[in-house]
Structure 1
Amino acid sequence: MAYNRKETGEFGEKLAAEYLKGMGYSIIQTNCRLPEGEIDIVGQDGEYLVFIEVRTKRRLGYGLPAESVTPRKKAHLMASAESYIQKHRLEHFPCRIDFVSVDLSQPEPRLELIKNALGEE
């Protein structure tokens, strides 16, 4: 099991990628770094190009993983998604931002997918 913050995040992202594949997503890229920020996972779900933010927690004392996405982080996600779309000339694809919440506080990890988490397409 991962112990430090970076290892915990990387472990959660690997679990999330496998989880998403099991849900029918195709994984296009992971840890995509852009000037506006990082996109944890870029994937495709049917016709949608999906930008996925993974939030992993080992303890839930400060709330659920998805609750840790601040307004500032949401703005960075949107800016990063726009940058990715422009860089790769993908304006013709419908897009959305999903969250995957990874809870490592139990013996077995619990994952939850929140589609269209920002409510915009």
Structure 2
Amino acid sequence: MGDRRRLVGDEGEGQAEAFLRSRGFRIIGRNVRSALGELDLVADDQGVLVFVEVKRRRTGTFGGAIEAVDARKRAKLIRLAAQYLAQHRIEDRPCRFDVVLIQDDAVPGAAVQHIANAFDVEGDDLRW
């Protein structure tokens, strides 16, 4: 089950990467792992460093991209992003968090939902 799930996730990340590239994003990293977890994609969008969470769903039963990233997941993504910034010694660069949902049962052409700046980061959570 784990291998199948990983394959499905990898395919979704590939679709999200192609989608973002087609919109001018430059992909900097994919599956950036650390002891805290994994960032699906790290990209540059016209000078903004973008941390992208990718979710792939077979159906729309459980809601869209925003519903797929709850408060606990957002907190984890913020910690991962802060760690990434510290490891790469990146300071004073605008950052944002995007969510991309790949929905398999969507009508042709509507399978990708991209939400730029999906959530805000409070205070100094990204400072290191």
Question: TM-score normalized by structure 2?
Answer: 0.84
List alignment gaps of at least 5 residues for structure 1.
none
Offset of 1:19 from its aligned partner? 0.3
Contact 1:8–1:57 under 8 Å retained in 2: no
Partner of 2:39 in structure 1?
39
Q: Distance in 2 between matches of 1:67 and 1:78?
A: 17
- Structure 2 unpaired stretches of 5+: 123-128
Identity of aligned residues (%): 36
Residue 97 of structure 1: how far off its partner (Å): 0.8
**Residue 107 of structure 1: how far off its partner (Å):** 5.9
Q: CA RMSD in A?
A: 1.9
Structure 1: 4+ residue segments shifted above 6 A: none
Alignment-derived partner of residue 18 in structure 2: 18
The 5-angstrom pairing of residues 62-101 of structure 1 reads: 62-101=62-101
The total of aligned residue pairs comes to 119
Tell me if the contact between 2:30 and 2:41 (Cα under 8 Å) persists in the aligned partners: yes
Question: Within 1, Cα distance between the matches of 2:65 and 2:56?
Answer: 6
Letter in 2 for 1:32: V
The two structures have a TM-score, normalised by structure 1, of: 0.89
**3-state DSSP class of the match of 1:39?**
strand
Counterpart residue type for residue 113 of structure 1? H
2:78–2:121 contact (8 Å) kept in structure 1: no
